[in-house]
Amino acid sequence: MDFTLYTAGTPNGWKISIALEELKFKYRAKSVDLSGDEQKEAWFLSLNPNGKIPVLVDHTKDDLPVFESGAILLYLADQDPQEQLLPKAVPERAKVLSWLFLQMAALGPMQGQLNAFLRYLPGEYKVATERFISETERLYTVLEKQLENRLWLAADRFTVADIAFFPWVYMHDYCGISVAKRPNLAAWIQRMLDRPAVLRGLDVPSKNPITSARGDPKKMEELVELARKKQMCSLML
Ligand SMILES: N[C@@H](CCC(=O)N[C@@H](CS)C(=O)NCC(=O)O)C(=O)O
């Protein structure tokens, strides 16, 4: 295994560093400067025509570039003969894929838009903001219910579905969402944080900004202000 991960300190990037750390695959992380629009430069577009991180390049397959975090998670999971993150057998595989696709199609885009409207354009688009709040809250309730009497989201073990949801749920407070009344979700977050590979993945490509601001409203506000100044509205999606 020999990979390069083009990434930045955002949830979709952390999904992939967490998976790589969990699988113990050899990789180097290259930081892409989103605020400088490096992801829209020709060299990057040749890897991902959509101009967004993450991109994984597989050097053992003629430098094959893989983009879209869900596709990368599947690619990595399928390279692992032990099937640690994604069982090949039906029905387990179908269950994991269902939750993985729910994250990709719903929670990621909804919470990403919520983040942009609530934190970077506050008070400007009330109806849109309310829509993204209610949809994100609804999805958190779906997760809370799913985690009733179970440890992991999609199977009786940790899978790519947990990895896909975690970085977004991890930054819930940055997006104004609370897990205080969601005990199953809070316990799942702690289970995820108990995994050393998850902690390592969250600190790629550099120390996690949410971790250091957590629990300190002033620091969190400073982080939002910095993101706003850099016009990062579209960056955290
Ligand atoms: N659906 C894509 C979303 C990727 C995405 O939105 N990446 C953001 C950072 S998390 C990005 O690169 N934003 C820069 C831009 O939009 O120019 C995935 O899951 O990989």
pLDDT at residue number 233: 45
Residue 86 lies in a domain: no
Q: Which residues of 172-196 are buried (b: 16+ CB within 10 A; e: fewer)?
A: bbbbebebeebebbbebbebbeebe
DSSP secondary structure letter of residue 87: -
The structure tokens listed for 28 are 């180097």
Residue 235 lies in a domain: no
Sequence-distant (6+) residues with CB within 8 A of 113 are 128, 132, 237
Q: How many angstroms separate the alpha carbon of residue 217 from the centre of ligand 1?
A: 26
- Which residues does the chain have with pLDDT short of 70? 230-237
Q: What's the CATH code of the domain at 17?
A: 3.40.30.10
pLDDT tens, 170-216? Answer: 999 989 899 999 999 999 999 999 999 999 999 999 999 899 888 88
CA angle 202, 106, 127 (to 5 degrees): 110
Q: How many angstroms separate the alpha carbon of residue 1 from the centre of ligand 1?
A: 25
User: Total structural domains in the chain?
Assistant: 2
121 plus 194 within the same structural domain:
yes
Residue 87 lies in a domain: no
Range of the domain at 42: 3-78
SS3 5: strand
Pocket of ligand 1 (CB under 6 A): 10-13, 34, 39, 51-54, 68-69, 108, 234-237
43 plus 18 within the same structural domain:
yes
The closest residue, in CA terms, to atom 19 on ligand 1 is 69
103 plus 62 within the same structural domain:
no
Q: Which of 134, 113, 54 is nearest to 234 (CA)?
A: 113
| Residue spans of beta strands (DSSP E) within the chain | 3-7, 27-31, 55-58, 64-67
Q: Which atom of ligand 1 lies at the shortest distance from residue 51's CA?
A: 17
Q: Which atom of ligand 1 lies at the shortest distance from residue 8's CA?
A: 9
Q: Which of 6, 24, 4, 60 is nearest to 200 (CA)?
A: 24
15 plus 101 within the same structural domain:
no
Per DSSP, the residues of 193-218 read HT-HHHHHHHTSSSS-HHHHHTT-HH
206 plus 158 within the same structural domain:
yes
98 plus 128 within the same structural domain:
yes
55 plus 117 within the same structural domain:
no
